[in-house]
Structure 1
Amino acid sequence: MNDAPHWPAETSEHARLWLAFPTGGYTLGDTAADAHEARQMWADVAAAAADFEPVTVVVDPSQVEVAARYLRDDIDTLVAPLDDAWMRDIGPTWVHGQRGELNAVDWVFNGWGAPAWARWGKDSRIARTVADAAGTPVVSSLLVNEGGAIHTDGEGTVLVTETVQLDRGRNPYASKERVEAELARTLGARKVIWVPRGLTRDYEEFGTRGHVDMVATIPSPGMLLLHAQQDSAHPDFEVTRALRTFFEGQTDASGRSFDIVELPAPGILEDGEGPVDYNYVNHVVVNGGVIACAFGDKAADERAAAILAEAYPGRRVVSLDARPLFARGGGIHCITQQQPAPATSR
C-alpha cells in the first residue's frame, strides 16, 4: 500500500464544485452596475457547472438575500464570512488518502503575499470551513500557497512558479527543497516543475506574481496546454515563447517529455489598465464538461473551444465571456475549486 497521499487530476470524477459569492471591495466595484456584473458573472459560472455536477457557493452573511436573487435554485449554499471570492485560492486542496478517502489540505493564505490592499482574515479560514462542511479531515500546512499556484497531472507531477512559492511576501525563508518536501508530504508530489514566471499583468499591483493556472494546464498525463501570445506588440509574446522553450526541456514524474499544445491568445491586447492577461488556459473541468473562457473574439474563442474539445475528449465545452472576471484579476479556474469523489483503496 502506498502511504503517500494522491492528488487526483482535475479530470478525475468530482463530488462537487465550490465557489464563493462576491462580497465587497474591488470585486463588487464602485457602482451598482459593477456589482451586478460581478454577481452575474459568478452566478453564470455556477449555473454552467451545475448542469454537469453538484455545486456549492459559499456566501457571506451580508450577501445571503442578494445571492438568492442570482443563484439558481439547484445550487447549494454555505453561509460563512468572506473577504473575497477566489475559491481556487482560499479553498482546500483535496487529496486521496491510503484507502481512497478524501483529506483536505489547508494552506496558509495571506492575500497573495500580504499586499497592502488585501484583506484575508476571513478568507484564511474558509478552507477549513469548506472541509468541515464536506466532512473531510484537514491536513494543515505551514506553506503559504494558493490553489491557483499549483497544478497536477494526477500522477505525481506538480507545476509551481518560482515567483510564487518563493515569494518573500509568502515564504521568505523557503527553498526549493523545503517547498518540494512539503508538496510531497501534503500532495504526494513526485516531480515538482518550477516554472520561471507567469504573465506580465500578474506582476502588477493587484496580481498574484505568477499563478501557473494562467499559463499552463495538463489535460492528460504527458500533454500540456500552454498559453501562447502571438502578437509581438504584447509583452507576453516573449514571455510565452520563453515558457514554451522551458517546457520543451522538462519531463514529468514518469520521465515523459510534454506534448505541448498551444492555446493562442485572443486578438484583444489591452483594456483600460494596460496589456491584458486574457488566456484560455484558465478553464475548469467538470464531470462531462469544460467551462471555458471567452473574450468576445469570435474566431479566437471558437478556435480555443475546439482545441479544448480535442484535449478533453468526451466532454462538452461551454464558453462564457470571462472579461468581467479578468477585469477583477482572474478567470473561471480562479473562482472554482473541485472536490474529487472518493477513490477506491490504493
Structure 2
Amino acid sequence: MTTYRMPAEWTPHARTWMAWPSPNPTFANDAELAGARAAWAAVARAVRRFEPVTLVVAPGDAPSARALVGEDVDLLECPLDDAWMRDIGPTFVLDEEGRPAAVDWVFNGWGDQDWARWEHDAEIARRVAGAAGVPVLPSPLVNEGGAIHVDGEGTVLLTDTVQLGPDRNPGWTREDVEREIHARLGTTKAIWLPHGLTGDYGRYGTQGHVDIVASFARPGTVLVHSQRSPEHPDHERSRLYADLLRGATDARGRALEVVEVPAPTVLKNEDGGWADYSYINHYLCNGAVILCAFDDPHDEIAAGIFRRLFPEREIVLVDARPIFAGGGGVHCITQQQPAG
C-alpha cells in the first residue's frame, strides 16, 4: 500500500498556487474587491520572485489579474466562489518515491456558514490536482489547509473547534480525526489547541484555524501568537497556547521550543471588532518568508524574529490588512506544491 507524507513548508517547492478574488460576500463592494485584488497581486508578485506561481481565475477575470500580477504568473481559468487557496485547494503530499499527490478534503464553506458559497470551490482541489498532473486522494474529513500545520517529521497541529466542530464533522471523535489526518499526511502525533483567536469567530472567520495561532519554524520549534495587551481577549488565549505548546512533545518525543511573536499593537479592526492581526500567518517559499505587515511598530520586531529563525531566507513584508479584512492572511491565500 502506498503511503504519503506532507513535507514541511520550508522544504523546496515546485510552485505556489493562489486564487484570484472575484465578486462574492467576502468582499462587500467594488472598493473592497479592488483592495483585495491589489493585496493578492502583491503577494503573488512577491512569491514569484522566488518560485513559479499559478493563479486560478474565474472565467472573464484573466485580464484584471494579468494587469496586476504581470506576465510571469501563470493563470488557470476555472469557476471560483472565493479566493482562499489554502482552504479550497488541495493539500499536496509525496509518496515514498517522492512523487506528488493531492489530498482533497471535503470543503463546506468553513462549517456551512450562511454567507458562504462553495459550489465551485468544492471542486478546486481536483481541478488544481488535474492541472498539476498529480493523482487525487479523496478524504471524507471536512477540513481546510489553514486548519493544519506540520513539522515534516510526524507532528501536526490541530484545533478542537475546526476538526471537531459540529458543522464540519458531527459525530467524529479526536481518535477518528487523528486516524484520518495521519493516514493522509503521514503524521503520527497530533497536538490539539482548544480554539483559535477571538476575531476568527466573527462573520467571515474560519472558526479556529491554527495557521493564525501557531506554526512550526523547524522540527522542535514552534511559533505562537502572543497578544501582550490585557485589554484584548486573545491575551489569555495566547498565554494558554504558549503554555500548552511548552508542555507538549512532538512525534519524536522532543519538548517544543516555543517562540512567542508579539501581535501588532492594533487591538480593534476597522469594524470595531477585536483584531486578529497575526504575524504567524506568514508563508515560506523558496528562499523567502512572505510576512504579513500592518504598518505597525511591531512589524520590524516580527521581521527580526523571522530573520533570526530563517537567516538563509529573505524577509519580504507585504501589507496584509486588506487580506485580513476578508478573513485571513498571507498563508491563507497561498498553497505550496512541494518539489517531487
TM-score tier after normalising by the smaller chain length: over 0.9
2:141 to 128, 143, 148: 143
User: How many Å apart are 1:205 and its aligned residue?
Assistant: 2.4
Decide whether the 8 Å contact of 2:26 with 2:204 is kept in 1. Answer: no
Question: Following the alignment from structure 1 to structure 2, what is the Cα–Cα distance between the partners of residues 34 and 215?
Answer: 25
Question: Following the alignment from structure 1 to structure 2, what is the Cα–Cα distance between the partners of residues 138 and 193?
Answer: 26
1:164 pairs with 2:168: no
1:290 pairs with 2:289: yes
1:198 pairs with 2:159: no
Question: Following the alignment from structure 2 to structure 1, what is the Cα–Cα distance between the partners of residues 81 and 58?
Answer: 8
1:212 pairs with 2:210: yes
The alignment's TM-score, normalised by the length of structure 1, stands at 0.96
Decide whether the 8 Å contact of 2:22 with 2:33 is kept in 1. Answer: no
Q: How many residues align?
A: 339
Decide whether the 8 Å contact of 2:18 with 2:333 is kept in 1. Answer: yes
* Within-5 A mapping of 1:1-346: 3-31=2-30, 33-273=31-271, 274-297=273-296, 299-342=297-340
User: How many Å apart are 1:72 and its aligned residue?
Assistant: 1.2
- Residues 117-168 of structure 1, C-alpha deviation per residue, up to 9 Å, x if partnerless? 1000100000000001001101000000000000100011011101100011
- AA matched with 1:58: V
Decide whether the 8 Å contact of 1:27 with 1:38 is kept in 2. Answer: no
Decide whether the 8 Å contact of 1:322 with 1:331 is kept in 2. Answer: yes
- Residues 33-72 of structure 1, C-alpha deviation per residue, up to 9 Å, x if partnerless? 3222111110000000000000000000031222122121
Secondary structure of the 2:298 match is helix
Secondary structure of the 1:78 match is strand
Structure 2: unaligned runs, 5 residues or longer:
none
Question: Following the alignment from structure 1 to structure 2, what is the Cα–Cα distance between the partners of residues 207 and 40?
Answer: 21
Secondary structure of the 2:253 match is coil
The alignment's TM-score, normalised by the length of structure 2, stands at 0.98
Question: Following the alignment from structure 2 to structure 1, what is the Cα–Cα distance between the partners of residues 205 and 20?
Answer: 20
User: How many Å apart are 1:20 and its aligned residue?
Assistant: 0.1
Secondary structure of the 1:185 match is helix
Extract structure 1 runs of 4+ deviating beyond 6 A: none
User: How many Å apart are 1:3 and its aligned residue?
Assistant: 5.0
- Residues 250-306 of structure 1, C-alpha deviation per residue, up to 9 Å, x if partnerless? 100000111101110111111232110001000000000010001111x31001011
Q: Tell me the C-alpha RMSD between the 2 structures.
A: 1.1
- Residues 175-222 of structure 1, C-alpha deviation per residue, up to 9 Å, x if partnerless? 111111111211111101111111001112221111000100101000
- AA matched with 1:89: D
Question: Following the alignment from structure 1 to structure 2, what is the Cα–Cα distance between the partners of residues 221 and 230?
Answer: 26
Secondary structure of the 2:18 match is strand
Decide whether the 8 Å contact of 2:225 with 2:263 is kept in 1. Answer: yes
CA 1:137/1:3 → structure 2, altered by over 3 Å: closer, same or farther?
A: closer
Decide whether the 8 Å contact of 1:26 with 1:328 is kept in 2. Answer: no
User: How many Å apart are 1:5 and its aligned residue?
Assistant: 1.3
- Residues 229-265 of structure 1, C-alpha deviation per residue, up to 9 Å, x if partnerless? 0001111001101111111111000001111011101
Percentage of matched positions with identical amino acids: 53
